[in-house]
Amino acid sequence: MATLYVRDVPPELYERLRREAAAARRSLSAETIELLRRSLAPRAETSFEQLLRGADEIRSKHPLSADAPTAAELIREDRDR
């Protein structure tokens, strides 16, 4: 297994890492490896359909009032300024 040395860690960052490791009952090394593993994990691609579903969900939670201006009206108002 490879070894990684990190130099010049700012004291406040080191202290925060130490506290996080203690809270998770891990060594500094184990906590650092876990943080690296999480931050470098492959990210799932978001499809266009997933984005549309998310937008629909937001719209359903926050419906517009009946007298709300349309997008075209807002654009026209902005252009007229």
Domain count for the chain, please give it. 1
- The answer to whether position 24 is within a domain reads yes
- Residue 12 domain flag: yes
pTM summary value: 0.53
Q: CA 60 to CA 12: how far, in whole Å?
A: 44
Does residue 21 form part of some domain? yes
Residue 16 domain flag: yes
Asked whether residue 65 carries a pLDDT value surpassing 90, the answer given is: no
Burial of 26 (0-12, 13-18, 19+ CB in 10 A): middle
Let me know if residue 30 belongs to a domain: yes
**Tens digit of pLDDT for each residue in 10-21?**
999 999 999 999
Task: Judge whether 27 lies within some domain.
Answer: yes
Tokens of 81: 């300024």
State which residues form the domain around 23: 8-41
Per-residue pLDDT, 14: 96
